[in-house]
Structure 1
Amino acid sequence: MGIGVSLDRTCDQALDQTGSCLFGDRNYIHMMKTNLDALETAMQELREKRDDIARKVSIEEDKGLEQLAQVKGWRSRVASIDSQVSDLLKSRETETKRLCLFRYFSKNCISSCKYGKDVSKKLIEVKELLSKGVFEELAGKKLAAKVEKKRIQTTIGLDSMVGKAWDSIMKPEGRTLGIYGMGGVGKTTLLTHINNKLEKEVNGFDVVIWVVVSKDLQYKGIQDQILRRLRADKEWEGEREDEKASSIANILGRKKFVLLLDDLWNEVDLNKIGVPHPTQENKGSKIVFTTRSKEVCKRMEADDELKIDCLSKNEAWELFQNAVGEDPLKRHQDIPALAKQICEKCYGLPLALNVIGKAMSCKEDVHEWRDAIDVLSTSSHEFPGMEEKILSVLKFSYDGLETEKMKSCFLYCSLFPEDYEIDIEDLIEYWISEGFINGKRDEDGSNNQGHVIIGSLVRAHLLMESETTVKESSFFQLGFIPAVKMHDVLREMALWIGKEEEKQCVKSGVKLSSIPNDDINWSVSRRISLMSNQIEKISCCPKCPNLLTLFLGDNDLKGIPGKFFQFMPSLVVLDLSRNRSLRDLPEEICRLTSLQYSV
């Protein structure tokens, strides 16, 4: 009897469902064709709206904005239902052929009823998406990435140091890590590894900020680099230093952050910048910095200190081989042994190994390798200290430059401050004015010879291509300009060479408030750089018969007396740019009859 009751109920349910499909409010069979036509029309309209919104979003993204989450979600749902409707419409012909008796019945009522119900349901969903596809805004300002990934070169012997640094950073009680070691030993490379590892690993940090500090400690520059990462707007650019500090403190106080400070030469006052001191109570934020001085680690009250030493003999040889490449080492049976001798002259310094290795990669004759050893050995014996030996080793790449003009072009780059991004086109203009290269130009205005020399210096690892620097005026942005910069150890080498060979006097970015006349040999110097200081006035009247280039840009000059230019008959390059308070120039500047280029 129980089985009979069950069968009766099943039959009743089937009859009720069929009756509802045929005669009830949900007459899915009779309305099937009408709903299919309506679904096709509505879906086509939805696709057109989707395409219009996609085009507008693309325009907004080209402006640097980011698609809003609700727009992204709507487009995702449209893509999903588009696929579902397409699958549904594939069965249209089969299902409509089953209809009979003026489309009130079907040869397979249950199947047609289910299909008609699906069509009706999708029609409602499509119409709902159409109604919701109206947005006041499609995109907004893009949030800064949690980590800005950096390019990194092949490294040897740093894996264990990366592990030690990572363990120190992840310790709950660790707040500040100081990484120290001599110039060119790989501190920045290690910091780059940490930065990129923070992007890959799940760590709970809200933001990772990379700041280049350099020898010329400028709090404004540090604040600006931090705010570029924290704020999408540009309103902070006009704020005072204390206002910027308040803004930084307010934002970082609400975040778990990692601050990576590269190349500290002195203690940095975090309070002055606006950076909260990391504690376990303030979300477990971290500060990691690199420096050449262990003393800076003490002054910064680092919880952990990590010293980076030069590479071991085996590690150095592996890195040197990697820099030279396999083929050059196979060109003569004596070359591998000679290469090991040259490698030893690099003292395990990664920068020297890379620079010298790249220089040797194009040496095909065994005699060139033997000569290289003679040159390196002769130079190194003249300098007892390690730093001086390193500079003499690096000087080998400089000595290997093809022409004296190319050497002069390289040394000229040391006139700029440390970590300075040098506008390539400006640099070429300086070289032309100095007579290093000719002024011949292509139809587009470019100087091929200048670009060839820059390319050669970059490939020789004596200059680095900068990402770009932005030139702006108060009215509009002019765009991104290719630039180059010098590694700070290579710049030290260039200063060491340039002081004697080119009679260069460089005191850029050292916080001078006045011109140090006693430290400058005006009568001998051919190039003087006093740029990026805080010089407000000039009172001297120097006699400079040999002076060719004078950099006074990026100071606080308010005026220049005419007598200052009285005895500069040979001056060809004069840079007074970025002295915002300098309104007028003296008439005596017209007496600079040799002047070729001034900014």
Structure 2
Amino acid sequence: MSCVIDAIVGKILDPIFDFLFTSIGRQIGYLVKYKEKEVNDLKGVRDRVQAAVNRARDNGMTIEKDAEKWLVEVLQSLMTLEEELNNSLQDKANLKCLDVCSRYRLGKKGKEMVMEAIRLKEDRNKFGDEVAHPTPLKDIWYTSSTGYENFDSRKLVFEEIMKALSDDKNSKIRIYGMPGVGKTTMVKEVGKQAGKGPFDEVAMAVFSQNPDLKTIQGKLADCLNLKLDKESEEGRAGQLYNRLKNGKKILIVFDDVWDDQITLEKIVIPADIVNSMGCKILLTSRRQEVCNRMGFEKSFPIGLLSAPEAWHLFKRMVGDFIEVDPEIQSIAKQICRECDHLPLAICAVGGALSGEKDKHVWNDAVEQLKHCQGYKIDGVEEKVYSCIEWSYRYLKQADVQSCFLHCSLFLEDSEISIGSLVYLGVGMKFLESTDTTSMKKARDRTHVMVGILKKSSLLLEGGKEHMFKMHDVVRDVAISIASKPPNLFLVKDGVGVWPDKDEYKSCRIIFIVASSNVRKLPDQLDCQGLRTLVLRCTDHEFLELPNSFFEGMEKLEVLVLRKMKLAASSLSNLASLRMLSLEDCELVNPSFLNELKNLEILIIGQIYKSKEMVFEK
């Protein structure tokens, strides 16, 4: 009887089980395909986010923490999901060998995987399209203060400045002292410490002798992570104003201010921002009388180093070996005294003599420094001049000397890239040719030369890799040296009136930054010996170059233009031109550039043109 019942039950249940096996198997098949689709979709989303993150990192941006966290979580989950997906594909192939319970567990696990992939895709939407934000630049401008020496003669002043900044009664503070005494180094260290303490943010801009307000506005905006999209100075000032009144305590540092007629309004910092909204001004100047109209509550002079401090700094630059040999030590102390306790002079001379153990060199150095006559430059002490000039003369290789002088052809207080110097060097022939192999050699040589000049303290570290700077006083000396034969440079920053012909007619190299006051250029420059011309305009409007401007410049080899409007046909007679750089220029009939048969280097920034540019070369 039981056998009969089993047979009857079996006949009833077999179709049911067949149906369940078939139905569950079909559902598992669909689920595996859906799971595979969701995992691949998640990979696609991951790849897009990772690509955006890579682009942001290449642009120096900071990745958002939730984006980074999501990528890490996806990476970990995908490892598990892909492993389980492979197992699911295998289980699907072996489906007939599985019982109902095993198939159920497989389906449940597959559903969990699908839900995990969907959850991760939905989490992607939580941080929107922005995976990164601009990296704050406030930490970059004081990178050169990492080697700050807290000498006793500076310690008290530093503490008094920090105390004054913490006092709500003081909103405007001034530091002054002769060039080369260490004001910029001091103020960078102040900014560094202030950013860690009483202030939420610190912004810094360098004024220099010929300040450009738009450039200053741009530097402040960079430090404050503010994007300025207005063209006029007034519009950009309004954007800065709105940024500064956000309730944060902000220290604004203005370095190397010359103009004694300057006002807060002129530098786009309205009085109400300073007086009532937590914003404070810290200013440095070479002259005590500068900016008296701004009403500073506190002023601090930076003096010379004491004799022991000067000797300590000189030893640090040269090496402790100078105290081992009594004869070299005696000469070294004489040379240190010749530097007049000025940090910049000590660093220039000490850097040049770093590691030098030949007594003849030391004897020659002290004699040259004793009899070196400093050339008078406005704002530069004669002793500083003579020490920097001696350090330049001491450079043993001619191309390194040439590299030093050519670094003066970049804007004052600007960060200079190795790449820009390479192109300039090749174009001006103080570096070798331009084929692929020799360009690499030129870049390598440039790195070496810049390294030598940094070691001699004639160049400074930049805020980023492959960038460097030239101290404004060192640049002034370099310009003065380069203006004399055989170099014959003419370097003019922020000129309001075009130079007289007698000033430039014999020059080999001309670098001019024209201010907004220059509205018209001469019809013809007529400078037959000119080899290099760098012409930049600081105004937001283009400065038009007359068609005949380049006549008489047949020997011109390097031409660098910024914010100029010109017809490319006006360049057609420049048969010797090897390098052409056009940045933010308006170019008419650009196809005429094909006529420049000797052109080897063409650098084009933003160009406004009336016809499509076609290059056959």
TM-score (norm 2): 0.69
Between the aligned partners of 1:231 and 1:146, the Cα distance in structure 2 is 7
Name which of 455, 462, 469 aligns with 1:459: 455
One-letter amino acid of the structure 1 residue matched with residue 556 of structure 2? L
Give the equivalent residue in structure 1 for 2:21.
none
Post-superposition offset of 1:549? 1.4
Name which of 55, 62, 67 aligns with 2:64: 67
One-letter amino acid of the structure 2 residue matched with residue 498 of structure 1? A
Give the equivalent residue in structure 2 for 1:526.
508
Post-superposition offset of 1:379? 0.4
**Secondary structure, counterpart of 2:452 in structure 1:** helix
Give the equivalent residue in structure 1 for 2:470.
486
Kindly tell me the number of residue pairs found equivalent between the two proteins: 480
Is 1:558 the counterpart of 2:509 in the alignment? Answer: no
Could you tell me whether the CA contact under 8 Å between 2:322 and 2:329 is conserved in 1? no
Post-superposition offset of 1:247? 1.7
Between the aligned partners of 1:165 and 1:71, the Cα distance in structure 2 is 40
One-letter amino acid of the structure 2 residue matched with residue 548 of structure 1? R
**Secondary structure, counterpart of 1:251 in structure 2:** helix
One-letter amino acid of the structure 2 residue matched with residue 567 of structure 1? G
Structure 1 window deviating more from structure 2 (144-153 vs 256-265): it is 144-153
One-letter amino acid of the structure 1 residue matched with residue 498 of structure 2? I
Between the aligned partners of 1:193 and 1:432, the Cα distance in structure 2 is 38
Is 1:260 the counterpart of 2:257 in the alignment? Answer: no
Give the equivalent residue in structure 1 for 2:370.
377
Give the equivalent residue in structure 1 for 2:527.
544
Post-superposition offset of 1:426? 3.2
Give the equivalent residue in structure 1 for 2:331.
338
Post-superposition offset of 1:388? 1.5
Structure 1 window deviating more from structure 2 (298-307 vs 375-384): it is 375-384
One-letter amino acid of the structure 1 residue matched with residue 64 of structure 2? Q
Structure 1 window deviating more from structure 2 (314-323 vs 542-551): it is 542-551
Post-superposition offset of 1:133? 8.3
One-letter amino acid of the structure 1 residue matched with residue 493 of structure 2? G
Between the aligned partners of 2:374 and 2:264, the Cα distance in structure 1 is 44
Could you tell me whether the CA contact under 8 Å between 1:502 and 1:526 is conserved in 2? no
Structure 1 window deviating more from structure 2 (409-418 vs 357-366): it is 409-418
Per-residue CA shift, 1:59-84, capped at 9, x if unaligned? 765533553679979x99xx9xxxxx
The percentage of counterpart residues that share the same residue type is: 29
Between the aligned partners of 1:164 and 1:320, the Cα distance in structure 2 is 27
Per-residue CA shift, 1:141-197, capped at 9, x if unaligned? 548759526322242522222112111111221110111111111111111111111
Could you tell me whether the CA contact under 8 Å between 1:144 and 1:230 is conserved in 2? no
Give the equivalent residue in structure 2 for 1:570.
555
Between the aligned partners of 1:55 and 1:539, the Cα distance in structure 2 is 56
Post-superposition offset of 1:337? 1.1
Name which of 224, 242, 245 aligns with 1:250: 242
**Unaligned stretches of 5+ in structure 1?**
1-47, 80-126, 469-480
Could you tell me whether the CA contact under 8 Å between 2:524 and 2:551 is conserved in 1? yes
Post-superposition offset of 1:437? 2.9
Post-superposition offset of 1:466? 2.6
**Secondary structure, counterpart of 2:326 in structure 1:** coil
Pick closer, same or farther for the CA change 1:170–1:574 going to 2, 3 Å. same
Between the aligned partners of 1:211 and 1:275, the Cα distance in structure 2 is 13
Pick closer, same or farther for the CA change 1:532–1:521 going to 2, 3 Å. closer
Q: Residues 215-364 of structure 1: matches in 2 within 5 Å?
A: 215-231=209-225, 234=227, 236-255=228-247, 256-266=249-259, 267-277=261-271, 282-330=276-324, 332-364=325-357
Is 1:192 the counterpart of 2:188 in the alignment? Answer: yes
Could you tell me whether the CA contact under 8 Å between 1:504 and 1:525 is conserved in 2? yes
Pick closer, same or farther for the CA change 1:541–1:338 going to 2, 3 Å. same
Pick closer, same or farther for the CA change 1:57–1:487 going to 2, 3 Å. same
Per-residue CA shift, 1:8-42, capped at 9, x if unaligned? xxxxxxxxxxxxxxxxxxxxxxxxxxxxxxxxxxx
Name which of 205, 208, 220 aligns with 2:202: 208
One-letter amino acid of the structure 2 residue matched with residue 559 of structure 1? L
RMSD of aligned alpha carbons = 3.7
Between the aligned partners of 2:268 and 2:525, the Cα distance in structure 1 is 43
Is 1:148 the counterpart of 2:144 in the alignment? Answer: no
Between the aligned partners of 2:383 and 2:181, the Cα distance in structure 1 is 14
Name which of 115, 138, 148 aligns with 2:127: 138
Between the aligned partners of 2:268 and 2:578, the Cα distance in structure 1 is 45
**Secondary structure, counterpart of 2:449 in structure 1:** helix
Could you tell me whether the CA contact under 8 Å between 1:537 and 1:557 is conserved in 2? yes
Name which of 171, 176, 198 aligns with 1:175: 171
Post-superposition offset of 1:583? 4.0
One-letter amino acid of the structure 1 residue matched with residue 298 of structure 2? D
Per-residue CA shift, 1:398-425, capped at 9, x if unaligned? 0111133332221122233311333433
Pick closer, same or farther for the CA change 1:208–1:144 going to 2, 3 Å. farther
One-letter amino acid of the structure 2 residue matched with residue 561 of structure 1? N
Pick closer, same or farther for the CA change 1:439–1:175 going to 2, 3 Å. same
Pick closer, same or farther for the CA change 1:207–1:574 going to 2, 3 Å. same
Post-superposition offset of 1:568? 2.4
Post-superposition offset of 1:131? 11
Give the equivalent residue in structure 2 for 1:19.
none
Post-superposition offset of 1:294? 1.3
Could you tell me whether the CA contact under 8 Å between 1:186 and 1:351 is conserved in 2? yes
Post-superposition offset of 1:272? 4.4
Could you tell me whether the CA contact under 8 Å between 1:258 and 1:287 is conserved in 2? yes
TM-score (norm 1): 0.71
Per-residue CA shift, 1:175-233, capped at 9, x if unaligned? 101111111111111111111112333x2x3322122222221111121122223345x
Could you tell me whether the CA contact under 8 Å between 2:313 and 2:346 is conserved in 1? yes
Pick closer, same or farther for the CA change 1:131–1:596 going to 2, 3 Å. closer
Post-superposition offset of 1:427? 2.4
Is 1:504 the counterpart of 2:498 in the alignment? Answer: no
Post-superposition offset of 1:347? 0.6
Pick closer, same or farther for the CA change 1:536–1:146 going to 2, 3 Å. closer
Is 1:401 the counterpart of 2:385 in the alignment? Answer: no
Name which of 141, 157, 160 aligns with 2:156: 160
Post-superposition offset of 1:316? 0.8
Per-residue CA shift, 1:436-484, capped at 9, x if unaligned? 232265548421333332332222221224335xxxxxxxxxxxx9343
Between the aligned partners of 1:269 and 1:298, the Cα distance in structure 2 is 9
Per-residue CA shift, 1:380-403, capped at 9, x if unaligned? 488799812220111111011113
Structure 1 window deviating more from structure 2 (342-351 vs 261-270): it is 261-270
**Secondary structure, counterpart of 1:161 in structure 2:** helix
Pick closer, same or farther for the CA change 1:392–1:450 going to 2, 3 Å. same
Give the equivalent residue in structure 1 for 2:576.
594
Per-residue CA shift, 1:234-266, capped at 9, x if unaligned? 4x2344322221122122123221111112122
**Unaligned stretches of 5+ in structure 2?**
1-38, 77-115, 582-617
Post-superposition offset of 1:516? 1.8
**Secondary structure, counterpart of 2:543 in structure 1:** coil
Could you tell me whether the CA contact under 8 Å between 2:514 and 2:537 is conserved in 1? yes
Pick closer, same or farther for the CA change 1:137–1:239 going to 2, 3 Å. farther
One-letter amino acid of the structure 2 residue matched with residue 168 of structure 1? A
Between the aligned partners of 1:482 and 1:499, the Cα distance in structure 2 is 28
